[in-house]
Structure 1
């Protein structure tokens, strides 16, 4: 679609089928639909989703609770992800969301209305575990110049630092000395290539591990 007006006819047809009288470009609204004593419906038509579109739609909520945004149906993997995120945003803002396919098929993905997102205790618990696991505050919010420092990376660095000082060691000894309960698993999984198995249950530090200690030196501190 090349013009917003191409969205108008299919959306209008859908509303007319539901008994609405529909008119375009009424006041500041792209489309207004009226049916008896029902609250008027406003639809903002745009070729793509932008922050400005959400601003406009939210402003229309001062007129009626029945506000939709309508855009061409996006295609492609990245577009589908964006569609899902924008649908979630519409629900949180109390807006309806309509997409129009190239063949004129109209899909109402959600209707306007109050929305209370379900709290997911497992995600909250995971977030708090990661917060508690981090030593200090190694990440500047929004900065990724060196990469994000996670609790897992810090635990790996603690294990690597112990091996650098003590030499090849048993996993249980590293865990006891460092307080990293998962030391054996971390060294066995060797996610960063920092460790090597030199004997039964015994791990040493690789060249990459020594480089990692230097590169990430700023990112951890003992508990």
Structure 2
């Protein structure tokens, strides 16, 4: 579909099958439908999801609570994620969502209405743990020049700093001196390529680790 008016016939058919009388371009509204004395249904048509489309649909909520947006079914790479994200936004805003398939069939993904999202206790706890582990405020509301400083990154920096100063050391020693309880596990996994095992439980810093300390020096200085 390359024109918005091509969306109108399948949307009209969908609503008429439910007993609505449907008219297009009523005032500033793309599609309006009525069924007896029930509240009017409004559908805004667009060829793709956009912020302007959501602004337009939200404005229609001043007229009726039954507002849908309708777009062609997204295709191509990332289509599933696009649909999922915009469906979540529609639910948050109390809007309905309809997609039109290439064969003119319509799929109603959600109807308008209040939405109370379920809280994820697992995600909440994970975020709280990261907050508690993060030393200081190294990101200052945004990414550093080399990326986001995570608590894991800070632990790696503290281990690397210790090894630069004291040389190859046992993981247990690094854990205590650098105040990184999981230092041995962190250096063994070697996610950043900063550490090298040179003996049983003994690690030293690599050239990549030395470069990492230089790259992240500014962020590390803020860890407190």
Q: How many residues align?
A: 223
Residue of structure 2 in register with 1:187 after alignment: 187
Alignment check: 8 A CA contact 2:175 2:183 kept: yes
Q: Compared with structure 1, are the counterparts of its residues 78 and 140 closer, same or farther at alpha carbon in structure 2 (3 Å cutoff)?
A: farther
Residue of structure 1 in register with 2:56 after alignment: 56
Q: CA deviation at 1:83?
A: 1.1
For 1:9 and 1:173, the matched residues in 2 are separated by 73
Between 1:15-24 and 1:120-129, the stretch displaced more is 120-129
For 1:107 and 1:177, the matched residues in 2 are separated by 60
For 1:16 and 1:161, the matched residues in 2 are separated by 70
For 2:76 and 2:129, the matched residues in 1 are separated by 35
Residue of structure 2 in register with 1:164 after alignment: 164
Matches within 5 A, 1:88-167: 88-143=88-143, 145-167=145-167
Matches within 5 A, 1:67-82: 67-82=67-82
1:141 alignment partner, SS class: coil
TM-score normalised according to structure 2 size: 0.97
For 1:79 and 1:142, the matched residues in 2 are separated by 28
1:165 alignment partner, SS class: helix
For 2:146 and 2:219, the matched residues in 1 are separated by 10
Alignment check: 8 A CA contact 1:195 1:209 kept: yes
Q: Compared with structure 1, are the counterparts of its residues 204 and 143 closer, same or farther at alpha carbon in structure 2 (3 Å cutoff)?
A: closer
1:43 alignment partner, SS class: strand
For 1:79 and 1:2, the matched residues in 2 are separated by 17
Stretches of structure 2 lacking an aligned partner (at least 5 in a row):
none
Alignment check: 8 A CA contact 1:57 1:67 kept: yes
Alignment check: 8 A CA contact 1:135 1:220 kept: no
Stretches of structure 1 lacking an aligned partner (at least 5 in a row):
none
Cα RMSD (Å) of the superposition? Answer: 1.1
